[in-house]
Amino acid sequence: MASLLDFSLVDARAALAAREISSVELTRAYIDQMAATAGRNAYITATPDKALAMAEASDTRLAKGEGGAMEGLPIAIKDLFCTEGVLTTAGSHILGGFIPPYESTVSSNLWASGAVMLGKTNLDEFAMGSANVTSYYGPVENPWRSTDAPDKKRVPGGSSGGSAAAVAGRAALAATGTDTGGSIRQPASFCGIVGMKPTYGRCSRWGIVAFASSLDQAGPMTRTVSDAALMLGAMAGHDPKDSTSAAEPMADLSAALGQDVKGMRIGVPAEYRMDGMPREIDALWSQGIQWLRDAGAEIVDISLPHTKYALPTYYIIAPAEASSNLARYDGVRYGLRVDGDSLAEMYANTRGEGFGPEVQRRIMIGTYVLSAGYYDAYYLKAQKVRALIRRDFDLAFETVDAILTPTAPSDAFAIGENEDDPIKMYLNDVFTVPASLAGLPGVSVPVGLSARGLPLGLQVLGRMFDEGSVVRAGRALELAAGFDVSAAAREG
């Protein structure tokens, strides 16, 4: 019998339902693995006692033939979701000691469906970053090592780096992530797992520490596309507490998983073939196109002409919203307070010590672009470009059912690389940001390895609220690629 840690979410669920394994056994295996891999720093807070108590309760329900969609399945929660009674940090010093008296809607939905909580995973501070190196709690190590420099620790991507590393490294069966400009999909690509950002509005933002409200969206990080579909079903749903939450019902994703891609029209956008992109990524993309064509899909060349403006647009809108969203961390009511001789000094001391350099940089950018005299040139212009980017996609989806692109422009780089230049770091999101600006669903599926043996993903994007087509095409890629998601854990 394979190790308990080898089960996918779907398989573990079947084994639990058949009483072949117990949730306590499964959970214990994960708690042990969390301890064994603690050096990777994937977790900020582990909650083994809570996990075991929840697992026991799940076993009781399972014994009665009861239980929800995620019954007894041990998962990790990105430390951006507020969890009742459990330290919630957003990876920032400024939330030091903050224990929420409330539970986020998404995690609440997961617990209601029977999931077991292993702990809170590390992330870039306030989800601002693409390498999980801006966390106050230190960087996270990717379980994968390159063949050319096996002693170099690599970043897991970000901002959901802890979640990605935990799932890839078998320290969680699955994990929640949040994606503002690629924070689920890019780390999924770096760690060789599946990361899915649903349509904006699918998952409630209530109780998720806000980064950029018009972009933030929670999603599952799993080992398979089927796992992502299962977990998303448990996370999503309309929430009257979030005014941007969608009432649109979600299609039955399990049905979509069972469908092949015959007759699907897959768009390939010319603008994603960028200068300086590594050849192996281009090659893998071509391979992906071929796989889908072989599986019966029709490949259509499309144009998304405003793609090149997406990154600058994102780096105006996201910091603008962040500068306002993060104003509440002022030392007055919760979290860190560093006293001063006046209110203004207390603010300056608290925020100066509480926020790291990347967060401070984005607050300053955001404050600048919203300032009188600059608003029209930056924020307003960015909103107009955002509308054009959305229209690019709308037009493309008149002729195609899904779009295939690379997820990230590189494989996982070493910890310490790209840190000298914020722009270089921001370029990591070049393929993921456009769909975030348009609010579209997307999934990153691991499909191969780079020349130096690091995972690479391809991204499938779909129409608003059409997660069905996304998992359908994603599943086809997964089947064709046959990527070994266990490789890192076995070697690690």
Partner 1 sequence: MAGPYRIQGETGEWEVVLGLEVHAQVTSHAKLFSGSSTTFGAEPNTQVSLVDAAMPGMLPVINRECVEQAVRTGLALRAKINLRSVFDRKNYFYADLPQGYQISQYKDPIVGEGEIVLDLPGGETKTVGIERLHLEQDAGKSLHDQHPTKSYIDLNRSGVALMEIVSKPDLRSPEEAAFYVKKLRSILRYIGTCDGNMQEGSMRADINVSVRKPGDPLGTRCEIKNMNSVRFIQQAIEYEARRQIEIIEGGGSIDQETRLFDSSRGETRSMRSKEDAHDYRYFPDPDLLPLELDPSRVAALQAGLPELPDAKKARFMAGFSLSSYDAAILVEERATADWYEVLARGRDAKLAANWMITELFGALNKPGINLADSPVSADALGGLIDLIADGTISGRQAKDVFAEMFETGKDAAAIVEEKGLKQVSDSGAIEALIDEVLADNPDKLAEYKAGKDKLFGFFVGQTMKKSQGKANPGMVNEMLKAKLSG
Name, in order, each residue with C-beta under 8 angstroms of 472's C-beta and a sequence gap of 6 or more: 256, 257, 259, 260, 261, 264, 402
**Catalytic one among 183, 436, 450, 469?**
183
Of 208 and 480, nearer to partner 1 (C-beta) is 208
* Interface with partner 1, residue 322, by CB under 8 A: no
d(CA 255, CA 471): 10
Residue among 164, 210, 443, 456 that touches partner 1 (CB under 8 A): 210
Give the range of 8-16, 270-278, 320-328, 442-450 binding partner 1 by CB under 8 A.
320-328
Site string for partner 1, 42-81 (x = CB under 8 A): ---------------------------------------x
Site string for partner 1, 339-368 (x = CB under 8 A): ----xx--x-------------------x-
CB of 390 to partner 1, least distance (A): 15
* 183 among known catalytic residues: yes
Name, in order, each residue with C-beta under 8 angstroms of 479's C-beta and a sequence gap of 6 or more: 295
What DSSP element (H or E) covers 220?
strand 217-222
Residue among 334, 391, 422, 453 that touches partner 1 (CB under 8 A): 334
Residue among 243, 247, 376, 423 that touches partner 1 (CB under 8 A): 243
Residue among 74, 91, 100, 446 that touches partner 1 (CB under 8 A): 100
Of 83 and 226, nearer to partner 1 (C-beta) is 83
Of 5 and 184, nearer to partner 1 (C-beta) is 184
* Interface with partner 1, residue 95, by CB under 8 A: yes
Site string for partner 1, 369-408 (x = CB under 8 A): -xxx--x---x-----------------------------
CB of 209 to partner 1, least distance (A): 5
Give the range of 132-140, 236-244, 258-266, 399-407 binding partner 1 by CB under 8 A.
236-244
**Catalytic one among 159, 189, 245, 323?**
159
CB of 360 to partner 1, least distance (A): 15
* Interface with partner 1, residue 102, by CB under 8 A: yes
* 159 among known catalytic residues: yes
Which residues are part of the catalytic machinery?
Answer: 78, 159, 183
The site for partner 1 (CB under 8 A) is made up of 81-82, 88, 90, 95, 98, 100-102, 104, 205-210, 212-214, 240-244, 320-321, 323-324, 326-328, 330, 332-334, 343-344, 347, 367, 370-372, 375, 379
